Amino acid sequence: MPIEIPYDLIQLVKAGDQQSFGKLIDKCSNYVYGIALKMLGDADDAHDAAQESFIKIWQKIHTYKSHFKFTTWLYKIVINTCLDRLRDRNRDNTIFQKVDDHTDLTTTTEPKMEFEEQEFIAYIRMISERLSPRQHSVFVLHDLEELGQEEIAKILNMSKGSVKSNLYHARKAIRKILISLDKAKTNAL
């Protein structure tokens, strides 16, 4: 869901106006939290990553060039913050332990028209576990955030070809996840 940030507001934040930064947080907090949750699949982790992203925005706003789309710059900060957390998480190897705390997807029937947050988190968590951080980022940005391949290439510092290839492998992996999930459901019944 794209958001529009007024140019004047960005300039005021750039000038160090804390009140304007507060307004910027109000405008983008749900948006940033949403991206973080889609990347991390953990509400607390996403909350912390969103806060960390805003602190980085405040510290690095002077590096933002006005001729770039602000949201592209914003995505870059949030995605990089989440990728750092995913790497730390993989390093700590606590991921499998945490997944058990979430909703068991094998007990649910066909997905409902609208996801509950827990179900959403469980799916994202499962996908993020199976995909490489790059594939997961491309999947989130392309299929969930509906960004164009060119913008994704800019955000992730990769070529358009690499975006396409990562997207293909991501979808293939997700398909496999869903098939294995269906099989698990059938066996559970």
Partner 1 sequence: MKCENLEKIDLYFEKKLNDQERAFIAEHLETCDACHGYLNDLKHTDRVIGQLKSFNPELANPLAFRNEVLAKINPIQESVFQSTLDRIVEAIISILVKPATKYAFVAFAAIFFGLFVYQQSMIFQKMDDLEKRMESKAENVPTSRELSLETFFKRKEAKMIEEKHTDNLLNEHRYLQLKYTILLKVLKDRHPDTYREFIQKIEKETQLPTDKSNDYEDL
| 144 contributes a contact to partner 1 by CB under 8 A | yes
DSSP secondary structure letters along 98-134:
HHTTS--GGGS-SPPSS--HHHHHHHHHHHHHHS-HH
**Which of 129, 143, 149, 151 is in the footprint of partner 1 by CB under 8 A?**
143
Stretch that binds partner 1, among 32-40, 79-87, 96-104, 158-166 (CB under 8 A): 32-40
Closer residue to partner 1, CB minimum distance, 11 or 59? 59
Site for partner 1 in 42-81 (CB under 8 A): 46-47, 50-51, 54-55, 58-59, 62
Long-range contact list for 180-183, CB < 8 A, 24+ apart?
181/105, 181/106, 181/126
Closer residue to partner 1, CB minimum distance, 163 or 174? 174
Q: How far is the CB of 130 from partner 1 (least distance, A)?
A: 13
Q: Give the C-alpha separation, 48 to 110, whole Å.
A: 32
| 4 contributes a contact to partner 1 by CB under 8 A | no
Nearest-10 Cα torsion for 146, 69, 5, 13: 140
Q: If we measure between CA atoms, which residue out of 37, 35, 11 comes closest to residue 23?
A: 11
Closer residue to partner 1, CB minimum distance, 6 or 111? 111
Per DSSP, 46 falls in state H
* Length of the chain in terms of residues written: 189
Q: Give the C-alpha separation, 53 to 82, whole Å.
A: 9
Closer residue to partner 1, CB minimum distance, 47 or 169? 47
Binding positions for partner 1, rule: CB under 8 A: 1, 16, 18, 21-22, 25-26, 29-30, 33-34, 37-38, 46-47, 50-51, 54-55, 58-59, 62, 111-115, 117, 120, 123-124, 143-144, 146, 171, 174-175, 178-179, 182
